[in-house]
Structure 1
Amino acid sequence: MAKAVRYDRFGGIDVLRVEEVERPVPGAGQVLVRVEAVGINPSEAAIRTGAVADIFPSTFPSGQGSDLAGVVEEIGSGVGGFAPGDEVIGFSMQRASQAELVLVDAGNLTPKPGNISWEVAGGLYVVGVTAWGAVHSVQIAEGETVVVSGAAGGVGSLAVQLARRTGATVIGLASHTNHEWLRSHGVIPVAYGDGVADRITATASHGVDAFIDTHGNGYVELALALGVAPDRIDTIADFAAAARYGVKTVGGAEAGPGAEILAELAGLIAAGQLELPIAKVYPLTEVREAYTELERRHTRGKIVLRP
């Protein structure tokens, strides 16, 4: 038996529970991973409430979670490249990673560099692939200026760093408590809230070329008001505005092969060229408390569960 997060109906945080489930058995092409750490994400909360049931239908009882890092416990037939005892980073497409043991398709795993912590490895997939996709979608070039909203959040904190690697000037919208962290990563911090358009304009003397919105709530309209072309705007949070104005919504699976991007990002972290801040770590049994913290939307980086 193994512990896993489950819920039986759509609803708030109170529907979540941790229960004992049967030990999974790997089938052909699958790897059984003993989870060391797993990230949590706003998209999981949206799925749990039923807000996106038309896009992500659920079958109950449902598991939860995509990110994971752990140790290979057992391999199924036809699996090459992995063996019991290997440390891996990966993702579950079955909403099942928030558990002690999880089955993962071998193609969704990549080796974990030894100098990356379990917490960082376990929280990397969703925010990493989303940030990678968003940055590439707006085609940032050296010498351009890009604005990132929610610049200290899970996706935003990686997006600003990846954008800086293109040679662009990066303006990060965030609360004052995160400004020093942004400066330390070569990002120009600007406070969000009333007057933000004027503050951006005063900072971007040659205008804004691209805009990545990780927060929603009017930032697509702000980007357009700043003169950014729709095809240089990407939002991962405001799909209604994207449909209305024809801006991009790249982030996640459509960004490209997840395991390849994950390996690239893990390599950058291992080389000290990228940082994923860890806001807080909770035991798996405190999954409700972890999502309560997440939904406050004021964390820097990722919240992680440890089974």
Structure 2
Amino acid sequence: MAKNLMRAVQYSKYGGGVDGLKHVEVPIPSPKKDEVLIKIEAVGINPIDWKMQDGVARPFLPRKFPHVPGTDVAGEIVQVGSGVKSFKAGDKVVAVLGNGGALAEYALAKEASAVPRPPEVSALEAAALPIAGLAAHQSLTLHAGLKLDGSGPQVNVLITAASGGVGTYAVQLAKLANAHVTATCGARNMDLVRSLGADEVLDYKTPEGKALTSPSGRKYDIIIHCTTNIPWSTFQANLTSKGKVVDTTPGFGTLMSVAVKKITCSKKKLVPVFTDPKKENLDFLVKLVQAGKLKPVIDSKHPLDKAGEAWGKSIDGHATGKILVEP
């Protein structure tokens, strides 16, 4: 491989799944004034990555083809743009890439989207954090109003798909907020979810799990919904009078339900979440991991030359925690 080239994985059109991914050599990019060039040590795969390949944001994203997917990276800065003030070559960082580019040996990140990675936080742990951790954090704080220092009143929280990427973080963060947590997951992951702090765990395949019925008979003030295909009627039956469903995987059905609920003036709310990669939120999560208060759950790690395995595993939808790629 020539010195100025790097290995990368890309796709050239919408659709194709794993078969649409191609291993290529492309030029190592150069940072603009406000960018840093990162030598990537680990990449976190998110469902939005392959959903974009499927065309969920068509025709706006990807902005152009061929496209190197992925947004969540941890690594070492090797070059900084002329206007960068807060980082230098050699700094370890975790970052969210605004335009993709993660499935490669090097990637560009905006200075404003990167945060320092302390030595206590591994590259794998850091790469597992951004989008899933931010979705959980913003669902609980911005949309549900919980205080993660535990200073607020205790509320009853249900977290669906609690063994997934967002769910594993949501359970731990809700416990930091002093919530009583009921969680749903598959039978094989019930012990894991309990170990993360859940007070009650339901097997989602049982009648109680499908009905979201709390074993203690509690109604939920907040439901953090991390999966799909649960009807509003099931949520409604389990919510308190002013309960709220925070949907981390909103689709067309969610948006239509929000519109209907506004028309009917229901006090029970359905709130879609669109994750905002706020630097201060990401830094907060990194520091929680550093302090041992938040544990990224890693499903599997795959070398870059087998990125298709990671891609397919994410599409399959049964990962426990986060799927990672190591260049």
CA distance in 2, matches of 1:156, 1:302: 10
Cα pair 1:26 1:103 within 8 Å, conserved:
yes
1:236 paired with 2:248, answer yes
Aligned partner of 1:143 in structure 2 is: 154
Deviations 1:100-143 (A, max 9, x none): 11111111111101011111111211111111111121224532
CA distance in 1, matches of 2:192, 2:129: 19
Cα pair 2:211 2:234 within 8 Å, conserved:
no
**1:158 equivalent among 165, 169, 186:** 169
CA distance in 1, matches of 2:322, 2:55: 23
Give the counterpart letter for 2:39 in structure 1: R
SS in 1 for 2:213: helix
SS in 1 for 2:223: strand
CA distance in 2, matches of 1:64, 1:200: 35
Give the counterpart letter for 1:185 in structure 2: L
- Which deviates more, 50-59 or 270-279? 50-59
**1:167 equivalent among 130, 153, 178:** 178
1:262 paired with 2:282, answer yes
CA distance in 2, matches of 1:164, 1:147: 12
Superposed CA RMSD in Å reads: 1.8
SS in 2 for 1:232: strand
CA drift of 1:201 comes to 3.1
Q: Which runs of 5+ in 2 are unaligned?
A: 147-151, 259-269
Give the counterpart letter for 2:202 in structure 1: V
Q: Which runs of 5+ in 1 are unaligned?
A: none
Cα pair 1:197 1:226 within 8 Å, conserved:
no
Aligned partner of 1:252 in structure 2 is: 275
Cα pair 2:220 2:243 within 8 Å, conserved:
no
CA drift of 1:50 comes to 1.1
1:207 paired with 2:227, answer no
**1:131 equivalent among 129, 132, 136:** 136
Number of residues of Structure 1 aligned to a counterpart in Structure 2: 304
Q: TM-score, normalised by structure 2?
A: 0.88
SS in 2 for 1:172: strand
CA distance in 1, matches of 2:241, 2:163: 24
Aligned partner of 2:12 in structure 1 is: 8
SS in 1 for 2:320: coil
1:35 paired with 2:47, answer no
CA distance in 2, matches of 1:251, 1:194: 30
Deviations 1:37-85 (A, max 9, x none): 0100101110001133156354111110100000010011111121111
SS in 2 for 1:245: helix
CA distance in 1, matches of 2:239, 2:81: 53
Aligned partner of 2:189 in structure 1 is: 178
CA drift of 1:251 comes to 4.0
Aligned partner of 2:266 in structure 1 is: none
